[in-house]
Structure 1
Amino acid sequence: MSVANGRQLLAIPGPTNIPDRVLQAMIRPAEEIYSGPMVQLTDSLIADLQRIFRTRARTYIYAANGHGGWEAAISNVLSRGDKVLVVASGRFAIGWGQMAGFMGADVEVMDGSWRASIDPAALEDRLRRDTGHAIKAVLMVQIDTASGVANDIRAMRKAIDAAGHPALFMVDCVASLACMPFEMDAWGVDVAMSASQKGLMTPPGLAFVAANDKAHKAHQSADMKTLYWDWTARQGEQHYMKYCGTPPEHLLFGLRAALDMIMDEGLDAVWRRHALLAAATHAAIGKWAEGQVLSCNVIDPAHRACSVTPVVVTGADAEAISAYTQTICGVTLGSAIGDLSGRAFRIAHMGHVNAPMVIGSLSAVEMALRGLGIPHGEGGVAAAIASLSEGAGLPVGPAIHELPADDLSAPTAPV
């Protein structure tokens, strides 16, 4: 019998759960687009996106999904025939590279693992061998949502510097922005891009690109530019040209509310919340793995993403687990893609998500394992709760043992 009636829980890595505050912000009339409130809104969004990217670089907003953000980043800094090095750790850096190749770039892929972070030494070695500096850009993702790998962006920048290479450093932050630390300026990233539908808690349809002075210098001679994506056109005085036409107003209203929520919580606190929820998820999987059927795809905990966790299933039907959680429990897990297709499922813990939501997702999985008779270690949810209890620290307000003795006495009968 299904117990799924009630509010459905979305545990997929994008689009993520949209806060009610964001949805409500979008239920309003349209604004005039040439002056006044819309100009102020755009200015405030760009300023706060700079804070989220941790940069002083120019930031651009596009009516597009993440793939559009890829094209915006590529087209503004590269010319046809330019060589780009794609540093792979799953599916999405390769996808970005494929787009660059379609647009006329000469693409080389440096294969990495679907189960571990990119080795900075391998990047340094490849760039040292490029003595003629044919490579114009290095493309990579901070978090790959297919593999669940998180890469060390600061270490990769150090590898590029150690090689003495002038290539642009371009990073996809779609699954990491507002989920884990990203320091565009401090880490020496030249171009960063992201999208609205994951950590930024806004419906799909907005992409963001931040580009520093080095990237803008490359932009001057790039010949892949088209008017829609072009940074120069979007720097014009007319407000509507910042969107190359009519702004996606209601998505912008939603984004304003989402950024306000992030600023209210504090970016450091947002990062910490994601880390705690990820650790709880990993603790649960660690217990289930004792049955030798389930395991985290990424072996080393230090290499695991804080926003999504692919769970590999060996000797059982991964899709049956997802079907059970959805039809019986009302929890939608992420399907595995790429190399993990058909043999894993993904648990997202990013964006507008809290402890009860993650514990609920994990409980649905544990219920599925029991209901389907899949071998697993008992107590996964209990391990997650213990992890959260320890990681979240002391409760707000006095603990029970700190209350005055009178407060612990049995209630008296009414007079």
Structure 2
Amino acid sequence: MAGRNALFIPGPTNIPDHIRSAVDLSMEDMRAPDFPEFTLPLFQDLKKIFKTETGQVFLFPGSGTGGWEAAITNTLSPGDKVLISRFGQFSHLWVDMLERFKLDVDCIDVEWGEGVPVEEFAKRLEADTNKEIKAVFACHNETATGVTSDIAGIRKALDAADHPAMLYVDGVSSIASIDFCMDEWGVDLAVSGSQKGFMLPTGLAIVAVSQKALEARHTAQHTRCFFDFEDMIKTNAQGYFPYTPATTLLRGLRASVDTLLGEGLDNVFARHNRMAEGVRRAVTEGWGLDLCAKEPKWYSDTVSAICVPEGFDSAEVVRHAYYEYNISLGVGLSKVAGKVFRIGHLGSLNETMLLGVLGGVEMTLRDLGIPVEAGSGVAQAVDYYRTTRGQALAAAAE
């Protein structure tokens, strides 16, 4: 099929040409005497993306899943009690990992389409008078359902209960796209990956760790080797790694961080919010469909999970869009398989890119007999993007 595939899954995301060029280079000596001149400033600038001054950022070859394994094994011990909620496929996977590592998991199941139940967390923390809970886990942005949770609210609950538990956050599909304030929110371990807001190929687990969590490594009893913080701390201090790093991805990450900081993080977050709102208006006001997220307070600015009407299969929407219009959409996962399809709107994107995918989805829905009026969703997005563009440009210029 002529033209490029329109990639609108919630990761991997589109890679800007200048970042792809930064990755496309000859191999280099990762133990060269001048290599730290590149890596040490990169470590420092990554802290700006997480909004931490006191934490340390580690770069592991791997994915977000590897980052979570690093976070767990370096700071907790088998039998430790942890608190988490499950409200989508990815929060479910974190529960599964915690159980595999033999932790004592207190899991609160929540309706898919809602987020972390902050009030229930507060009750559990307040009731834990013996301070047995060692860690609280939260998925900041659940891509399966298009839901973003209130991490600041969890910190308030911890503080209100005067609870010493560490706060772990899955920011794989939020960090570098949705505002994330590691120090302000008291986050102890934050995990992201290269393939989403950082606009890179898959292959880097990016883990930010507070000083409190770094201290926990001295008492954590999990066996670890490849993901050992200790090895990273010793070698990163000199600008090197304990094993061969993914040097091409590191060069791409340098370009990505420069791009994000050059645009300005607040502008990055505002752009994502604006792009997402155009999609939401197309879905709800144009097509008359529902989002999986139950209330506006849960709406994600990086992915929208869209419910198909009763009697239709969302997997067929994804297949038809791919084969007929060369559009890649996200499928429904686990409990919402066949019920939702997903439009990812994160990373390097603008209004016309989203108008294109909305037009393709609109054709797909009409082809499959889902009752939407031609042009209805696109028109809603056009009007929103057009009328808010001046305001967005003015804000970006400040």
TM-score range, shorter chain: over 0.9
User: Paired residue for 2:14?
Assistant: 17
* 1-structure distance, mates of 2:239, 2:37: 15
1:10 is displaced (CA, Å) by 0.3
Equivalent residue for 2:126, pick from 108, 111, 128: 128
Residues 140 and 171 in structure 2, CA contact (< 8 A), matched pair in contact too: yes
Q: TM-score, normalised by structure 2?
A: 0.94
Residues 32-77 of structure 1 show CA distances to partners (whole Å, capped at 9, x for unaligned) of: 1123443222212211210000002011110011100010100111
The letter of the residue matching 2:306 is V
User: Paired residue for 2:293?
Assistant: 298
Q: TM-score, normalised by structure 1?
A: 0.90
SS of alignment partner, residue 33 of structure 1: coil
Q: Counterparts in 2 of 1:108-123, with a 5 A limit?
A: 108-123=106-121
Which 5+ residue runs of structure 1 have no aligned equivalent?
Answer: 398-415
User: Paired residue for 1:186?
Assistant: 184
Q: Percent identity?
A: 38
Change (3 A) 1:121 1:266: same
* 2-structure distance, mates of 1:333, 1:396: 29
SS of alignment partner, residue 330 of structure 2: strand
Residues 285 and 380 in structure 1, CA contact (< 8 A), matched pair in contact too: yes
Change (3 A) 1:29 1:98: same
Structure 1 consecutive aligned stretches of length 4 or more whose deviation exceeds 4 Å: 237-242, 394-397
Equivalent residue for 2:349, pick from 333, 353, 362: 353
Change (3 A) 1:159 1:394: closer
Equivalent residue for 2:2, pick from 5, 23, 29: 5
* 1-structure distance, mates of 2:27, 2:227: 24
Change (3 A) 1:69 1:238: closer
Question: Based on CA coordinates, which of the two structures has the bigger radius of gyration?
Answer: 1
Determine if the alignment matches structure 1 residue 198 to structure 2 residue 200: no
Residues 34 and 240 in structure 1, CA contact (< 8 A), matched pair in contact too: no
Q: Counterparts in 2 of 1:227-306, with a 5 A limit?
A: 227-237=225-235, 243-290=241-288, 294-306=289-301
Residues 100 and 107 in structure 1, CA contact (< 8 A), matched pair in contact too: yes
Greater mean deviation of Cα atoms: 358-367 or 241-250: 241-250
SS of alignment partner, residue 185 of structure 2: coil
Greater mean deviation of Cα atoms: 274-283 or 218-227: 218-227
Change (3 A) 1:63 1:266: same
1:285 is displaced (CA, Å) by 0.4
Residues 93 and 139 in structure 1, CA contact (< 8 A), matched pair in contact too: no
SS of alignment partner, residue 130 of structure 2: coil
SS of alignment partner, residue 328 of structure 2: strand
Determine if the alignment matches structure 1 residue 54 to structure 2 residue 51: yes
1:273 is displaced (CA, Å) by 0.7
Residues 33 and 39 in structure 1, CA contact (< 8 A), matched pair in contact too: no
Determine if the alignment matches structure 1 residue 68 to structure 2 residue 63: no
SS of alignment partner, residue 273 of structure 1: helix
Which 5+ residue runs of structure 2 have no aligned equivalent?
Answer: none
Equivalent residue for 1:161, pick from 159, 168, 175: 159
* 2-structure distance, mates of 1:288, 1:109: 38
SS of alignment partner, residue 269 of structure 1: helix
